[in-house]
Amino acid sequence: MSALPEQVSVVNVGLPMFAEALRAQGVAVQQVDWRIPAGGDLATVSLLSRLYGDQASTVEAANAEVVRRLDSGQPQLVEVSTVAQAVPGIAGRTLLHCGPAIGFGQVCDPLRRSMRAAVVAEGWASDVEEAQRLLAGGDVALQPANFHQAVVPMASAIGPSAPVLVVADEQGGTRSYAPVSQGPGEVAWFGRDTDAAIERLRFLRDVAGPALRRIVGSAGPLDILSLAAQGVSMGDDLHMRTQAATNLLVRTWLPQLAELPGRQRGPMARFLAGNHLFFLTLAMAAAKALTLWAEQVSDSSIVTSMSRNGTTFGIKLAGSGDWHITEAPPITDALYYSGYGPDDAAPDIGDSAVLELVGLGGPAAAGSPAVAAFLGGSMADARRTTEAFRRICAGTSSRFKLPPLDFTGTPIGVDVRRVVELGITPQITTGILHSSSGAGQIGAGVATAPLECFTAALTALATRR
Amino acid sequence: MSALPEQVSVVNVGLPMFAEALRAQGVAVQQVDWRIPAGGDLATVSLLSRLYGDQASTVEAANAEVVRRLDSGQPQLVEVSTVAQAVPGIAGRTLLHCGPAIGFGQVCDPLRRSMRAAVVAEGWASDVEEAQRLLAGGDVALQPANFHQAVVPMASAIGPSAPVLVVADEQGGTRSYAPVSQGPGEVAWFGRDTDAAIERLRFLRDVAGPALRRIVGSAGPLDILSLAAQGVSMGDDLHMRTQAATNLLVRTWLPQLAELPGRQRGPMARFLAGNHLFFLTLAMAAAKALTLWAEQVSDSSIVTSMSRNGTTFGIKLAGSGDWHITEAPPITDALYYSGYGPDDAAPDIGDSAVLELVGLGGPAAAGSPAVAAFLGGSMADARRTTEAFRRICAGTSSRFKLPPLDFTGTPIGVDVRRVVELGITPQITTGILHSSSGAGQIGAGVATAPLECFTAALTALATRR
């Protein structure tokens, strides 16, 4: 037996208090951040053991294919059409809305207002009071946009006449849809049902949609994610901030904009000049095209849908067709417009979280000074958000490169196994809407996805036949 | 007397070989990068001693005022006019050219070609051969743009009919001028005198100039450096890369672009869509307005003019009215287009180095992934360029903030004392032109300003009456 050593160096795994006690005595300690997987819940640990054990090779092969699809698809904007003409399965008085399926009685205030505005813009009601009666009476069908290969941002609800961006991914054979951006200001997607908000919907239908149809027809297909990648290198996360990609697109389309007929040209120019968010729905449609291709892979533990309606929050895995739904989370790390605070905030809302599944939004935070402002103010805060995604993601983007990380790619492919094991859920950069007054956007911040639906999805995957 | 210590920790100042020898013996060494000031030249050290000694308080007060002016001026684009109408002191057959004063016999090949193209575009000659005869015969007066409050990029030479951006700084009461960007491609400012290059000059005179005059008249004054600051936060250095600021400007002016008459609208839209360099001359004119205000301060050791004509390189201090001129340096750290190399490269050329004096270009390299590609490829390489400027600059910009450096401002106000003391001269990010064939741009890289003219400027300042 040897004598006790004179000096020890310690590696402490887990609870940091032991390390601190040793450091206080002058002992060198290397602390390892380790936690009990899945918070120590034995049933969940058992499910994880299957997915990391017997099923590991199946799941990992599937995940590799999902990552490949998310990383290599090249969705193109091929056309601008209308919901009625382009989106499969829409008939009659139907609104496509954000998030999981929901009955009007459960719809949150901002989304109700958006639905009323859409009903009036469609001409089904002459004012918002009549629209409210139609909606409450069940005279308008409500359909999740996600059920129709579509994604809509924030508190969006769009009717059959609304213009849509038609996006095609040739390699995957998928087609996806998103509305034309309503822009900032007094707008329905921010939960407003004022005359101006309704007028904006009519402008999109009567002017912007036809103008964009003409532009895309003349300019030809647009490689959306090529522009998005340039945007990432210029400080966009492509979710909270889309300024650089929008500006690139405006310059790209300038010749076609100049050739628009006079009745469209001036209004479109003013609309685009005032809309730094224009690219958002393009990025969302592209992300949806990628995830639609990815979700055709069986047995994968990677999340391919993530969406919220202000009441519930739902996800879906590539490997299992069901939605897993829980309560919509609040938005934290928020900056509010003057006069507003957390008590005024509606829960997290919109389909835009699809961006976080393909390496944009939160995963791209480290490249975005504008997003950093919402995450604590320093670029280190933004890096932490990206690195949190890296811990729960299965792959790294080869196209979205982060200059402040010396061109490392953004994390892609949120793996539900890692989410549940580490207890780290996706952080979604997003706007904040007023919960009741119809004031519209009152700030922006970060929503942390609720763990419950990830655990449910993990359970469904591990216990599938 | 104490005994020799058992352990020593060493601070080694100067030559690193002593530190290495100690490290090899297991001794802890802190190395301090110190060099003999001014390379040990005793006459120069004596001049530095005056400027850092008896004259220090005078010089430093002057420098503080120069930095304040460079940092706080707000140059506005107020008008688009022509050289003949706007620039003071131009009459008859005169060309404004880049760099210090020069006779045609000494002009380098790319600038000669540019001059010939301008002479033909002005209608003074029917072809470039005739233009060559006029220039060689002294029938066209050559004037440095810098003598007329103007700055022109690369191998530019512009005649009286060329459109100019008119920039005013209200606070400083200065007015400055720069040509409208010729854009990329087969263009005179890249040293080409082909029909296409001449046609581009005519296009600027007949279409772009009048269109921009109309746009600025309708949109009102443009706060150039506010857009530039946004550009810096989006990866522009505003010298080698102006993409983000150009795109911001295009979106800002979109309503006015849409209202242009048909004969201007389409051509301007196509020109701007294809010209990611459009903002360069705007930034240069703004920088010139700042330095014109700054150079009214006496006794300052800060550089307020820095320009090159492909043959000579000249600087001027705020505190001393004379130009100090030496041979134009080669461009290093270069990337060449396929088929070209250092043997094909003309020396450093153009007035755009004025940007490096106000915190753009090299000082902003750390924020620019695109510039990093020319400096070694990693963001660390780009940071080194910014940090080299920090060592020779007297101040920090409060408007140009670098996200990768957690929003630290770019260095401003190149202090000739520090340049000479440390032997570190400004590094200028720039394009490379072919030295003889008329091929135009063949690459891009970094020019390191020659030390001689800084030593001459220091001497003049230290020995002024």
* CB-CB neighbours of A40 under 10 Å: 9
Phi, psi (deg, nearest 5) at residue A178: -150, 150
Q: Do A258 and B257 touch (CB under 8 A)?
A: yes
Residue A454 counted as domain residue: yes
Strand partners, B166: B79, B177
CA dihedral sign, ordered B336, B337, B341, B345: negative
Measured between CA atoms, the residue of chain B closest to residue A252 is: B273
Which of B248, B254, B371 best tests the A interface by mutation, with the highest count of A CBs <10 A? B254
Which of A233, A236, A247 best tests the B interface by mutation, with the highest count of B CBs <10 A? A247
Residue B30 counted as domain residue: yes
Residue listed under structure tokens 């001497």? B459
Closest-CA distance, A233 to chain B, in angstroms, reads 7
Measured between CA atoms, the residue of chain A closest to residue B261 is: A258
**pLDDT, position B1:** 55
Q: Which of B255, B404, B407 sits opposite A269 (nearest CB)?
A: B255
| Spans in chain B with pLDDT lower than 70 | 1-2, 319
Query: Do A154 and A58 share a structural domain?
Result: no
Query: Do A310 and A441 share a structural domain?
Result: yes
Query: Do B320 and B280 share a structural domain?
Result: no
Q: Do B258 and A266 touch (CB under 8 A)?
A: yes
Domain span holding position B2: 1-34
Query: Do B252 and B128 share a structural domain?
Result: yes
Measured between CA atoms, the residue of chain B closest to residue A275 is: B251
Query: Do A278 and A377 share a structural domain?
Result: no
Tokens of A295: 């979700």
Residue A291 counted as domain residue: no
Closest-CA distance, B355 to chain A, in angstroms, reads 21
Q: How far apart are CA A328 and CA A308, in angstroms?
A: 7
Q: Do A379 and B234 touch (CB under 8 A)?
A: no
**DSSP per-residue letters across B204-248:** IIIIIHHHHHHHHHHH--EEHHHHHHHHHTTT--SSS--HHHHHH
Closest-CA distance, A82 to chain B, in angstroms, reads 26
Closest-CA distance, B6 to chain A, in angstroms, reads 21
Q: Which of B255, B276, B369 sits opposite A273 (nearest CB)?
A: B255
Report which of B402, B372, B428, B450 is spatially closest to residue B153, judged by C-alpha positions: B428
Measured between CA atoms, the residue of chain A closest to residue B273 is: A251
Closest-CA distance, A356 to chain B, in angstroms, reads 21
Q: Do A258 and B248 touch (CB under 8 A)?
A: no
Query: Do B104 and B17 share a structural domain?
Result: no
Residue A66 counted as domain residue: yes
**pLDDT, position A16:** 86
Measured between CA atoms, the residue of chain A closest to residue B377 is: A406
Q: How far apart are CA B177 and CA B80, in angstroms?
A: 9
**Domain final position from B255, B284, B313:** B284
Size of interface A-B (CB pairs under 8 A): 105
Tokens of A465: 């036949």
Which of A215, A218, A254 best tests the B interface by mutation, with the highest count of B CBs <10 A? A254
Q: Which amino acid appears at position A435 of this protein?
A: S
Nearest 5°: the CA angle A5, A9, A11 is 130
Specify the CATH number for the domain of residue B243: 3.90.1710.10
Q: Which residues of B touch A406 (CB under 8 A)?
A: 378-380
Q: In a 3-state reduction of DSSP, which class is residue B34?
A: coil
* Element spanning A174, H or E: strand A174-179
Q: Answer for the pair B200, B182: CB distance below 8 angstroms, yes or no.
A: yes
Query: Do B258 and B216 share a structural domain?
Result: yes
Q: Which residues of B touch A232 (CB under 8 A)?
A: none
Residue B156 counted as domain residue: yes
Query: Do A318 and A202 share a structural domain?
Result: no
Q: Do B254 and A257 touch (CB under 8 A)?
A: yes
Query: Do A378 and A262 share a structural domain?
Result: no
DSSP E strands, B36-122: 76-82, 94-97
Residue B209 counted as domain residue: yes
Q: Which residues of B touch A260 (CB under 8 A)?
A: 258
Surface-to-core class of residue A52, CB atoms within 10 Å of its CB (0-12 exposed, 13-18 middle, 19+ buried): middle
Which one-letter DSSP state was computed for residue A208?
I
**Domain final position from B263, B284, B305:** B284
Q: Which residues of B touch A364 (CB under 8 A)?
A: none
Q: How far apart are CA B133 and CA B110, in angstroms?
A: 17
In order of A380, A385, A391, B235, B391, the CA distances from A367 in angstroms are 10, 11, 17, 11, 27
Q: Do B406 and A234 touch (CB under 8 A)?
A: no
**DSSP per-residue letters across B340-373:** --GGGBPPPEESGGGGGGTT-SGGGGGG-HHHHT
Q: Which amino acid appears at position B85 of this protein?
A: Q
Nearest 5°: the CA angle A369, A374, A377 is 60
Rg (chain B; Cα; Å): 23
Query: Do B392 and B333 share a structural domain?
Result: yes
Query: Do B259 and B223 share a structural domain?
Result: yes
In order of B361, B386, B400, B454, the CA distances from B410 in angstroms are 10, 7, 6, 21
**pLDDT, position A310:** 96
Q: Which residues of A touch B248 (CB under 8 A)?
A: 247
Query: Do B321 and B177 share a structural domain?
Result: no
Among chain B, residues having any CB pair with chain A shorter than 8 Å are 233-235, 243-244, 246-248, 250-255, 257-260, 265-266, 268-270, 272-273, 276, 369, 372, 378-380, 403-404, 406-407
Report which of A364, A365, A388, A390 is spatially closest to residue A378, judged by C-alpha positions: A365
Q: Which residues of B touch A258 (CB under 8 A)?
A: 257-258, 260, 265-266, 268-270
> How many folded domains does chain A comprise?
3
pLDDT digit string, tens, across residues B55-88: 999 999 999 999 999 999 999 999 999 999 999 8
| Spans in chain A with pLDDT lower than 50 | none
Q: How far apart are CA A462 and CA A300, in angstroms?
A: 10
Q: In a 3-state reduction of DSSP, which class is residue A404?
A: helix
Closest-CA distance, A4 to chain B, in angstroms, reads 27
Specify the CATH number for the domain of residue B418: 3.90.1700.10
Among chain A, residues having any CB pair with chain B shorter than 8 Å are 233-235, 243-244, 246-248, 250-255, 257-260, 265-266, 268-270, 272-273, 276, 369, 372, 378-380, 403-404, 406-407
**DSSP per-residue letters across B262-330:** HHHHHHHHHHHHT-TTTHHHHHHHHHHHHHHHHTTSSS--BEEEEEEESSEEEEEETTEEEEEEEEPPP
* CB-CB neighbours of A251 under 10 Å: 25
In order of A76, A427, B18, the CA distances from A216 in angstroms are 11, 34, 67
